[in-house]
Amino acid sequence: MSATRDLLVGLAQYLHDQGVGVYDPDEAYEPTSTVITMKNMPSTVPRAIMLTAYIPSDHPTVNLTQYRVQVMSRGLPNDSLDVDDLGDSVFNVLHGLEHVDFGTAHVVQALRVSSIPMGEDDNNRHERSDNYALDVNRPATLNQPA
């Protein structure tokens, strides 16, 4: 396992535990569930949250990484405000999160840095991208011992 995997799985499970959506690694979702996935937005469920991590910078000598996590949300068809309800639910849980361990990833803090409407897909479902900055302590490495 990697710190990035631990972070994404931990965030998905945390959102699940807080009632924002359903995270099931076996993908046994009900058609009415708000699905939480990684890197792929499922087309078969109307309402979904997709998590993707990227890293804009690493500290050169200590094991501190600033991850950015894109949270793509998609709302119900023909309800342009549902995606905002969903994105705001994620914000209420993640923004300001501090000192939480997700496997080998210790989240020092999580803050939203942007929220951007993405329009609607071919099935009249509006989408939104929220981006979070997470300061994360990862396991030590050869060149980042602490």
Residues 6+ apart with CB under 8 A from 71: 49, 50, 51, 87, 90, 94, 129, 130, 131, 132
Q: Is the pLDDT of residue 87 over 90?
A: yes
More confident residue, 45 or 115: 115
CA distance 34 to 47: 5
pLDDT for 30 equals 83
pLDDT for 25 equals 87
What value does the mean pLDDT of the chain take? 93
pLDDT for 145 equals 74
More confident residue, 63 or 8: 8
Q: Which residue has the tokens 């840095």?
A: 113
CA distance 99 to 107: 5
pLDDT for 22 equals 96
The pTM of this model reads 0.93
Confidence class of residue 125 from pLDDT cuts 50, 70 and 90? very high
Domains of the chain by range and CATH? 3-137 (3.30.2000.10)
Residues 125-143 have a mean pLDDT of 90
Residues 11-16 have a mean pLDDT of 98
Residues 127-143 have a mean pLDDT of 90
Handedness of CA 100, 104, 110, 116 (dihedral sign): negative
Beta-strand pair 34-38/64-77: unpaired
